[in-house]
Chains A and B, each alone.
Chain A
Amino acid sequence: EPEVTQTPSHQVTQMGQEVILRCVPISNHLYFYWYRQILGQKVEFLVSFYNNEISEKSEIFDDQFSVERPDGSNFTLKIRSTKLEDSAMYFCASSGDRRREQYFGPGTRLTVT
Chain B
Amino acid sequence: KQEVTQIPAALSVPEGENLVLNCSFTDSAIYNLQWFRQDPGKGLTSLLLIQSSQREQTSGRLNASLDKSSGRSTLYIAASQPGDSATYLCAADSGGYQKVTFGIGTKLQVIP
Contacts and interface: CB of A to CB of B under 8 A. Distances in A.
A48 B99 contact: yes
Contact of B98 (A41, A45, A105): A45
A45 B97 CA distance: 10
Interface in B15-58: 31-32, 34, 36, 42-46, 49, 51
Query: Chain B contact residues: over half helix, strand or loop, or mixed?
Result: strand
Interface residues of B, number: 25
Contact of B91 (A41, A43, A59): A43
B44 A104 contact: yes
Contact of B102 (A33, A43, A100, A101): A43
A103 B46 contact: yes
Interface of A: 33, 35, 41-45, 48, 56-59, 91, 93, 98-107
